[in-house]
Structure 1
Amino acid sequence: MPASDDLKGLMKFLTREQWRECFEEVLDDHFGPVLEAYDMDFEDLTEILGEVWAMTVWGCAFEDFLSLDFEGEPGNIVDDYVKRRGWKENAQSKAYMMALRTSVMSLYEVSNVVPGQSLAARDLIRGGEPISVSEGTATKMLKQWDKIAARVVPVMGKNVLAGGVLPFTPQATEALFDGLRGAFGKRNAKKLPALRNEELQAAASMFTLSWLFDTLNRMMERPTLRNSDGDDIVFHDVRFPLASGVAPEEIASRLNTIRGMSQENAKFWNWVEETPQGRDKPKAAKAPTIDTTSDSGSCLLGNAELKGPFLHLSTNSAERAARGTALVRQALGDLARTPLTEIRTVEQMLAERSGKHVDTPSSSSPPEIAEQGVHEFLDRHYLETLDQPVAMLGNKTPRQAAKTPAGRRKVADWLKYLENQTAKQPDPVNPMATYSFEWIWKELGLRDLRQ
Structure 2
Amino acid sequence: MPTSHDLSGLMKFLRRDEWRECFEGVFNEHFGPILDESEEEFEDLAEVLGDYWTNTLWGCVFEDFLTQDFEGEPTNVVDEYLKRRGWKERAQSRAYMAALRTSVMSLYEVSNVVPGVSFMARDLIRGGEPMAVSEGTATKTLRQWDRLAARIVPVMGENVMSGGVLPFTPQATETLFEGLQGLFGKRNTKKLPAIKDDELQAAAFMFTLSWLFDTLGRVAEPRLQNTDGDEIVFHNVRFPIAPGVKQEGIAARLNNIPALSQADAKFWNWLEETPKGRDKSKAATAPAIDTTMDNGPLVLGNVELKGRFLHLSTNSAARATRGTALIQQALGDLVRTPLTEITTVEQMKAGRPRKGAETSPSNVPPEVAEQEIRKYLDRHYLETLDQPVKMLGNKTPRQAAKTTSGRQKVADWLKYLENQTAKQPDPRHPMATYSFEWMWKELGVHDLRR
TM-score, length-scaled by structure 1 = 0.70
**What do the CA deviations read for 1:366-390 (whole angstroms, capped 9, x no partner)?**
3322221111111111112222332
Partner residue of 1:432?
431
Paired residues of 2:392 and 2:400 also in contact (CA < 8 A): yes
Contact 1:69–1:76 (CA under 8 A) maintained in structure 2: yes
* Structure 1 residues 207 and 429, CA gap change in structure 2 (3 angstroms): same
Note if 1:404 corresponds to 2:403: yes
Q: How far apart, CA to CA, are the structure 1 residues paired with 2:409 and 2:13?
A: 47
The secondary structure found in structure 2 opposite 1:6 is: coil
Task: Give CA deviations for 1:239-282 in whole Å, capped at 9, x if unaligned.
Answer: xxxxxxxxxxxxxxxxxxxxxxxxxxxxxxxxxxxxxxxxxxxx
Provide the C-alpha distance between the structure 2 equivalents of 1:220 and 1:47, rounded to a whole number of angstroms.
13
Q: C-alpha displacement at 1:392, in angstroms?
A: 1.8
Query: How far is the alpha carbon of 1:395 from its aligned partner?
Result: 2.6
- Of stretches 3-12 and 369-378 in structure 1, the one that deviates more from structure 2 is 3-12
The 3-state SS of whatever aligns with 1:112 is strand
Distance 1:350 1:151, change over 3 A: closer
In the alignment, which residue of structure 1 is the partner of 2:382?
Answer: 383
Structure 2 residue aligned with 1:28: 28
Which residue of structure 2 aligns with residue 45 of structure 1? 45
C-alpha distance 315-377 of structure 1, shift in aligned 2 (>3 A)? closer
Matches within 5 A, 1:100-119: 100-119=100-119
Q: Deviations over 1:134-181 (max 9, x none)?
A: 011111111110100000000010000000000000110000000000
Matching of residues 256-267 of structure 1 within 5 Å: none
**1:233-272 to 2 correspondence within 5 Å?**
none
Q: Is the 8 A contact 1:74 1:80 kept in 2?
A: yes
Cα offset, 1:118, TM superposition = 0.5
Q: Once the 2 structures are TM-superposed, how far is the Cα of residue 408 of structure 1 from its aligned partner?
A: 1.3
CA contact (8 A) 2:232 2:345 kept: no
Q: CA deviation at 1:358?
A: 9.7
1:129-144 to 2 correspondence within 5 Å?
A: 129-144=129-144
For residue 347 of structure 1, report the CA deviation from its aligned partner: 4.0
- Alpha-carbon distance, 1:344 to partner: 9.1
2:186 corresponds in structure 1 to 186
Alignment of structure 1 residues 80-229 onto 2, 5 Å:
80-222=80-222
* Residues in 2 aligned to 1:344 and 1:34: alpha-carbon distance in whole angstroms: 38
CA distance in structure 2 between the aligned counterparts of 1:142 and 1:233, rounded to whole angstroms? 28
Deviation at 1:5, TM superposition (A): 6.0
The match for 1:370 is 369
- State the distance in 1 between where 2:402 and 2:375 align: 27
CA shift, 1:133, in A, is 0.3
Closer, same or farther: CA 18–428 of 1 in aligned 2, 3 Å: same
Q: Give the whole-Å Cα distance in 1 for the aligned partners of 2:153 and 2:208.
A: 19
Aligned residue number for residue 392 of structure 1? 391
Structure 1's 404 and 315: CA in aligned 2 closer, same or farther, altered over 3 A? closer
Structure 1 151/190 Cα, relative in aligned 2: closer, same or farther at 3 Å?
same
Aligned length: 344
Q: Which moved more, 1:216-225 or 1:107-116?
A: 216-225
Contact 1:361 1:373 in 2 (8 A): no
Deviations 1:30-53 (A, max 9, x none): 111111222211111012111111
Deviation at 1:431, TM superposition (A): 2.2
- Do the aligned residues in 2 keep the contact of 1:235 with 1:343 (CA within 8 Å)? no
Alignment of 1:249-328 (within 5 A): none
Percent identical pairs in the alignment equals 69
Query: Comparing 441-450 with 106-115, which one deviates more in the overlay?
Result: 441-450
Give the TM-score normalised by the residue count of structure 2.
0.70
Work out the CA distance in 2 between the residues paired with 1:438 and 1:346: 23
> Structure 1 residue 70: deviation in Å?
0.5
Aligned equivalent of 2:248: none
> Residue 407 of structure 1: CA displacement?
1.6
Shift in CA distance, 101/224, structure 1 to aligned 2, threshold 3 Å: farther
> Aligned with 1:427: secondary structure?
coil
Tell me if structure 2 keeps the 8 A contact 1:361–1:377. no
Q: CA RMSD in A?
A: 3.3
Counterpart contact for 1:234–1:343, Cα < 8 Å? no
Q: Which runs of 5+ in 2 are unaligned?
A: 226-230, 236-284, 287-315, 319-336
Looking at structure 2, the residues matched to 157 and 123 of structure 1 have their Cα atoms a distance apart, in angstroms, of 19
Q: Does the CA-based 8 Å contact 1:360-1:377 persist in structure 2?
A: no
Q: SS where residue 207 of structure 1 aligns?
A: helix
2:60, 2:208 within 8 Å by CA — same for their partners in 1?
A: yes
